[in-house]
Structure 1
Amino acid sequence: MHTFQAMNTEFSTIGLTQSARKEIEWLIRIIEARLSRFLSDSELSRLNRSAGKPVSVSAPLYEVLEQAHAYYCETDGFFNPYLGAVVSGLGYNQSFETLSTTSRTIIPTKVKHRSKCTNPLMLDRVKQTVRLHPDVLLDLGGIAKGWSARFGSSYLIKKGVQSGLIDAGGDIAVWGTNQGAPWGISIADPFCPNKDLASFWLRHDTGVATSNCIKRSWLLSDGSRAHHIIDPRTFNSAVSDLVQVTVLAPDVLTADVYAKAMLILGFAEGVHWMQERKPELAYVQVRSDGSVHTGGNIEAYCIEWEGRNQCQI
């Protein structure tokens, strides 16, 4: 296994040659320089400072923005990359590594926002320009890691790499086999991260993403805790009976987006919503009482799975 730090999380790769590992690390660092909200000279930061006027952007940033907006529409806004001002106002205006080591509590800032911005982003594919609404601040943290894992795996597949695993802080792209055997994926217990909650052995190329509202949380001045997953209905940290959701999908980007949406919606509403929107996906939910529920089309992705006290939906 090869590990490195990027995008304020740990990346790891398995089953790759030394040359492929170096290429992935190089690619991820280039992507971070374009997509990070915390780097003042990143391409995304420059775009945020130019809100209200058309801006020419690089092909990678354009692709991420196009896909992020498509998921925003597809999920009716439950995946929302346009809430950067809200999450910054809650104190997440610096990398989590810096935020988590601060000794002070965070005083949240009230942010003026529109309840419904009908055109947050205008895209011009021909000119490769984007125009961000003046009232909007982009935050691609909800999609950047999953997009990076998918981009990296696609890049290697095109170069003839027949198998491998890229883990972008819990957003995982796997393809091929693990030395002829099925890939095995474990999910950490949100209440005890050093222990595994469930394990899966995958049938084929799969994207696996986990969304968790405990790991990246911080203390506010009123004694409450905030986290980075924002409910677009309340413009605040999501509050539901779920603390963690893992989604299995054909690609890691889809898994990433729908794990976050399901976490926001909560157990019952999330199951109903997923059955209506994406019945082909599979998921593992962990409720605040510690109970574990698996559901969706899990047999399509897994040869075998096991876990602690799981209830099949």
Structure 2
Amino acid sequence: MPRFLLILLLFSPAAWCQWHSDTQAIMGTEVRVMLWHAEDKQGRAAVDAVMAEMQRIDAAYNPWDKQSELYRVNLHGAKGLVSVSAEMIKLLDKGLYYGRLTDGAFDITFASVGHGYDYRTGKKATQQQHNEAVIDYRLVTLDRQKKAVRFGHPNIKVDLGGIAKGYAIDRAVELLGEQGIEHASISAGGDTRLLGDRRGRPWVAGIKNPRGTKNEIAIKLPLQDEALSTSGDYERFFIDENGERIHHILNPKTGYSANGITSVSVIGPNGFDTDPLSTSVFVMGVEKGLQLINSLADFEAIIIDEYGMTFYSQGLGEP
């Protein structure tokens, strides 16, 4: 039997008196929190705690912020061992794990060329930046005992954009669980983590139509107590002078935007894994990407290719 049956669900609005929510611009995207708590004061405090944690993680791992831990690592990593927090070790370790698992389809060192792109202004990395880029996760070495990291080449730069939001939504769920909250939805851009259900009904998460209107949904998923991460070529992109879509999901082996797929959604127990997996599958392509997901317990994927065809991993039933 398939693990999920993809269906469209219609339901009446919940009673909003005990639902507490907020939306803020954090981590370069829109962070949304919705949770249920019977007491107004505690509910609002829980929402504030989630936003504060999101802001903390953003401040620590923003590669452009000169005060961030990640900026310091990128500045000094090639000069020798750089002491870092236990949390940074955890994030880097996870990133390197997915580098090994995907044979480099996921690579946290894509930043050596990725930072040359500006999708808001339509700026490409220059040919010189491509020539000088060194993208190889194997050149990042962790000393877990000393809590330190070093880079094996001066041109290495790390970006945790493919993993930090997934980690952040998991941390938010941990915080809420510690406060006894049992029903919540936290999203940061394409990453969503669900705590419990929606008071007796599943949460309904939507996968956008990559070539549809802004809010057009291609598939709706009833979920609870799971994470959903979507990587698409339609969020941060521009069309260049040749009519080519230049988007932020780079193929680490070429340094250019990955092609062949427009959207990948991965379902699993936590965002710390679904976030990097959705990026990995996008880069790997339909066949290899599904092989990867089908080899992993507890994960499923939905892929929409450049022709609008939809593909499902083995545990999913088509709608």
What is the CA–CA distance in structure 1 between the aligned matches of 2:243 and 2:301, rounded to whole Å?
32
| Cα 1:159/1:63, change in 2 over 3 Å | farther
Instruction: Give % identity.
Output: 26
Structure 1 counterpart of 2:156: 136
Structure 2 counterpart of 1:122: 141
Structure 1 counterpart of 2:58: 32
Count of aligned pairs: 288
2:181 matched to 1:155? no
Alpha-carbon offset, residue 214 of structure 1? 2.3
Q: Which one-letter code corresponds to 1:79 in the other structure?
A: F
Alpha-carbon offset, residue 110 of structure 1? 2.6
Alignment equivalent of 2:306, drawn from 269, 288, 293: 288
- CA contact 1:245–1:284 (8 Å) conserved in 2: yes
Listed as ranges, the gaps of 5+ residues in structure 1 are 93-98, 300-304, 307-313
TM-score, normalised via structure 1 length: 0.84
Structure 1 counterpart of 2:231: 211
Alignment equivalent of 1:66, drawn from 93, 100, 104: 93
What is the CA–CA distance in structure 2 between the aligned matches of 1:85 and 1:229, rounded to whole Å?
14
- CA contact 2:113–2:125 (8 Å) conserved in 1: no
What is the CA–CA distance in structure 2 between the aligned matches of 1:132 and 1:160, rounded to whole Å?
42
Q: Name the SS for the 1:209 alignment partner.
A: strand
2:79 matched to 1:55? no
What is the CA–CA distance in structure 1 between the aligned matches of 2:264 and 2:82, rounded to whole Å?
36
- CA contact 2:22–2:32 (8 Å) conserved in 1: yes
Alpha-carbon offset, residue 5 of structure 1? 0.6
> For residues 186-219 of structure 1, what are the alpha-carbon distances to aligned partners after superposition, in whole Å with 9 as ceiling and x for unaligned?
11211123111111112x4111000001221124
Alignment equivalent of 1:250, drawn from 256, 261, 269: 269
Q: Which one-letter code corresponds to 2:293 in the other structure?
A: M
Q: Which one-letter code corresponds to 2:159 in the other structure?
A: D
CA RMSD of aligned residues (A): 2.2
Alpha-carbon offset, residue 288 of structure 1? 1.5
Structure 1 residues 178-257: aligned runs within 5 Å: 178-192=198-212, 193-202=214-223, 204-220=224-240, 224-240=244-260, 242-257=261-276
- CA contact 1:107–1:221 (8 Å) conserved in 2: no
Alpha-carbon offset, residue 60 of structure 1? 2.4
2:307 matched to 1:270? no
Q: Mean alpha-carbon deviation: is it higher for 244-253 or for 223-232?
A: 223-232
Q: Name the SS for the 1:139 alignment partner.
A: coil
> For residues 118-166 of structure 1, what are the alpha-carbon distances to aligned partners after superposition, in whole Å with 9 as ceiling and x for unaligned?
7422222222211123331001111111111111112221332222111
Q: Which one-letter code corresponds to 1:198 in the other structure?
A: I
Q: Name the SS for the 1:264 alignment partner.
A: helix
- CA contact 1:173–1:207 (8 Å) conserved in 2: yes
Q: Name the SS for the 2:287 alignment partner.
A: helix
| Cα 1:265/1:119, change in 2 over 3 Å | closer
Alpha-carbon offset, residue 32 of structure 1? 0.5
Q: Which one-letter code corresponds to 1:290 in the other structure?
A: G
Structure 2 counterpart of 1:311: none
| Cα 1:63/1:279, change in 2 over 3 Å | closer
